[in-house]
Amino acid sequence: MRRISPWSTPALIGFAILITFAITAGPILLAGASPIEAYYRFVVSPLTSEVSVLEVLVSATPILFTGAAVAIAFRAGYWNIGAEGQLLLGAIAAAGLGTVVGGLPGFVALPIMLAGGALAGAAWAFVPALLRVRFGIDEVVTTLLLNPVALLLVNGLLHGPWRDPISGFPESQRIAASAEFPTLIDRSRLHLGFPIALVVIAIAWYVLARTPAGLRLRAVGLSPGGARFAGVNVSRTLFMAALVSGAIAGLAGVSEVAGIQNRLTGGLSPGYGYTGIVVATLGTLTMPGVLLAALFLGDLTVGASSASRALGIPSQIGAIVQGALLLTTVALLALRRNRASRAADPGAGGSVAGDVATGEAPVAAETSSA
Amino acid sequence: MSFLIDLLAASLRNATPLVYGTVGETYAERSGVLNLGIEGTMYAGAFAGFATAWATGSPLIGLLAAIIVGVLSGALMALMTVTFGANQHVSGIGLTIGLIGLSEFVNRLIFQGGELQRIEPMPAVSPFGALELGEAGVIFEQYGLTWLAFLLVVPAAWWVLQRSSFGLEIRAVGENPEAADAAGINVARTRYAALMIGGALMAIGGAFITLALLGSFTLDIIAGRGWVCVALVIFGRWRIGRGVIGALLFSLVFSLQFRLRILPEFAALPFELLLALPYLVVIAALALSGRNVAYPGAYLKPYRRS
């Protein structure tokens, strides 16, 4: 690797965060607040009390799952934009199973919930994955379009068979006590979902970095043609990456239902699946990166709501920061890639399929390598 | 009879934002850029149009503001994907997250979450009012933007894309940018233009909802209509005419379920399934056509001159 110090990954991400803060100074000034004070509120304040640190971890929990899910898929060059829908399917499964496992002790009920949610998420990822590996049909659009379908499914259940029979609210029945994730610390909302997310991240890190399956996945992402030439079953690897990604996104749904809502609700996810794309990109598709990025965004989420109370900055600043972070990070990654490919081979200019900076169409990638 | 007439009138009305969005997305995709910023662009158009009309008292100035926002959004998408050559779908999702956040942020600043503000919506016009159509005349009582969509924007957008040299350039840079470049077409400029025109159309589609249909702005106002347009573009195989037919079909189903679900005898029907149809139909159509899906040649590929 050449020495590209100002372009090294940590420097680049830090730079993206700085640019994002410069961009979001505009809306903050518009709200009549001082940007410096606002950033202090966003980033530092949540870390100054135990209560709010625990809230940061609660906010980070769902996006740790979806961030890991998206990162695994993107790493393989499979552009799963459907984590949102896969999360909702996991939530449906958890809400459904949670009402029927009441007679079982927690150590039986909780694994059933987790397995059910993971299976449901993987099932929602199945059709786009099959279409991709069988027919080369671009998964970006198919995974994306299944998100609104999943939301319609949730709403259909809540306005139909699962509507609360007593209150008549569009909320499902409360799940059994043994199916709820226990809280880890008294008088906080921090629940079992957080350590489970850490375990998932650790396993994903180990598999990606240290096992043959992980090597195959990374090879397929870097160069499907090269991987195929080296004897890797590219279709199978992509297919497995897609299903694992869906399963982990499904766990996010289980975690929100069993740990926070205790039932299926329409507002269960304010776009955690899409935030997963921000987390994965900001974490440059590595598991330690995902961990840091999810904690950082959790910090910002808690900070944004405290800033909205203290400084009168609407809490939607959080979404602006997320959007700007995603755009600046992916732009800087693309600029780095352009630089590197110019330096390496002025004639090439081609891009790498598994590169988060570019992301070519699978159809094109496959025909060009065939 | 009046049910049917009412249904057809509503279908044309509800199809309008989808028609603008689908034509706009078609322009982007035919130039080789999948613009997933559409959901956010429609949202920002809806909000900017409403807020400006509310502040100035003029829906037309509101529409102009929406168009400006749409053009800027298209330009930002072009900066990301053409100038920087960044990942198209991640850029589009980032644009959507950011624009929805920004719209809701400014909405909160201006209206402070107080009671719902209203504007006088654009009036419906009936250019054929002089004709004696009786009851059926209701079908032709549509908003100006609906007339504009079907009578001017769709034919003009089709003509430009299929018959003009500018349209040929758009299709060329979307199919084979290397060849287009060799033929002396400025790939970057053409994609910028296609994305900015597309962005303007998407924003008009969003603004139609606030300026004409509702006369107010509420959160989640686009509610996935942008994603419907992404589906319709594929349903129409990247052709404007077929995309518009898809928009009309979807709108017919949407308007029908809207009318049926309030009737007690239909209360048990799973209407959400009907609403999910366009997405499922598109995925099924993709599956059935298998390897023969004719994506634009340079779909999702950035172009860098070597």
How far, in whole angstroms, is CA B4 from its chain's centroid? Answer: 26
So what's the pLDDT on residue B294? 72
Chain B contacts in chain A segment 154-213 (CB below 8 A): 155-156, 159-160
C-alpha–C-alpha distance, residues B63 and B75, integer Å: 18
* Mean pLDDT lowest among A59-68, A258-267, A324-333, B273-282: B273-282
Is B99 in the A-facing interface, judged by CB distances under 8 Å?
yes
So what's the pLDDT on residue A348? 39
**Chain B partners within 8 Å of A156 (Cβ):** 270-273
C-alpha–C-alpha distance, residues B51 and B41, integer Å: 15
Evaluate if residue A150 carries a pLDDT over 50: yes
Measured in angstroms, the CA of A81 and the nearest CA of chain B are apart by 8
Q: Which domains does chain B have, with CATH numbers?
A: 9-113+142-292 (1.10.3470.10)
How far, in whole angstroms, is CA B49 from its chain's centroid? Answer: 15
So what's the pLDDT on residue B264? 78
What is the band of A365 on the pLDDT scale with cuts at 50, 70, 90?
very low
Is A131 in the B-facing interface, judged by CB distances under 8 Å?
yes
Low-confidence ranges of chain B (pLDDT < 50): none
Evaluate if residue A362 carries a pLDDT over 70: no
C-alpha–C-alpha distance, residues B278 and B33, integer Å: 22
Chosen from B73, B87, B110, B222 to mutate, greatest number of chain A CBs within 10 A: B87
Q: What is the pLDDT of residues A157-176, one digit of tens each?
A: 998 889 888 888 889 999 99
Structure-token match 């779909």, residue found? B299
Averaged pLDDT, A336-340: 87
Handedness of CA B164, B166, B171, B176 (dihedral sign): positive
Evaluate if residue A352 carries a pLDDT over 60: no
So what's the pLDDT on residue A183? 94
Q: B85, A363: Cβ pair inside 8 Å? A: no
**CATH hierarchy code of domain A5-369:** 1.10.3470
So what's the pLDDT on residue B139? 78
Evaluate if residue A311 carries a pLDDT over 80: yes
Rg, Å, chain B Cα set: 20
Q: Pick B87's closest partner by Cβ from A31, A128, A356.
A: A356
Cβ neighbours of residue A87 closer than 8 Å, sequence gap 6 or more = A62, A65, A66, A121, A249, A250, A252, A253, A256, A269, A272, A273
Contact assessment for residue B1 and residue B185, using Cβ atoms and an 8 Å cutoff:
no
Q: What is the pLDDT of residues A232-250, one digit of tens each?
A: 999 999 999 999 999 999 9
Higher-pLDDT residue of B3 and A291 is A291
Give residue A173's identity as a one-letter amino acid code.
Q
So what's the pLDDT on residue A357? 57
What is the band of A343 on the pLDDT scale with cuts at 50, 70, 90?
confident
Q: Pick B302's closest partner by Cβ from A159, A348, A358.
A: A358
So what's the pLDDT on residue A159? 87
Query: Which of these, A364, A347, A79, lies nearest to B87 by C-alpha position?
Result: A79
Rounded to the nearest integer, the mean pLDDT of chain A is 90
Instruction: Note the pTM of the prediction, 2 decimals.
Output: 0.92
Cβ neighbours of residue A161 closer than 8 Å, sequence gap 6 or more = none
C-alpha–C-alpha distance, residues B18 and B93, integer Å: 19
ipTM of the complex: 0.92
Is residue B258 exposed (0-12), middle (13-18) or buried (19+ Cβ within 10 Å)? Answer: middle
Is B100 in the A-facing interface, judged by CB distances under 8 Å?
yes
Instruction: Using DSSP, state whether B220 is helix, strand or coil.
Output: coil
Q: At what angle do helices A317-344 and A287-311 cross, to 10 degrees?
A: 150
So what's the pLDDT on residue A116? 98
Chain A contacts in chain B segment 158-197 (CB below 8 A): none
Residue A223's alpha-carbon distances to A137, A181, A220, A330, A368, in angstroms, are: 18, 41, 5, 20, 11
Is B109 in the A-facing interface, judged by CB distances under 8 Å?
yes
Contact assessment for residue B69 and residue B48, using Cβ atoms and an 8 Å cutoff:
yes
Count Cα atoms within 13 angstroms, Cβ side, for A185: 13
Chain A contacts in chain B segment 215-274 (CB below 8 A): 224, 227-228, 230-231, 234, 270-273
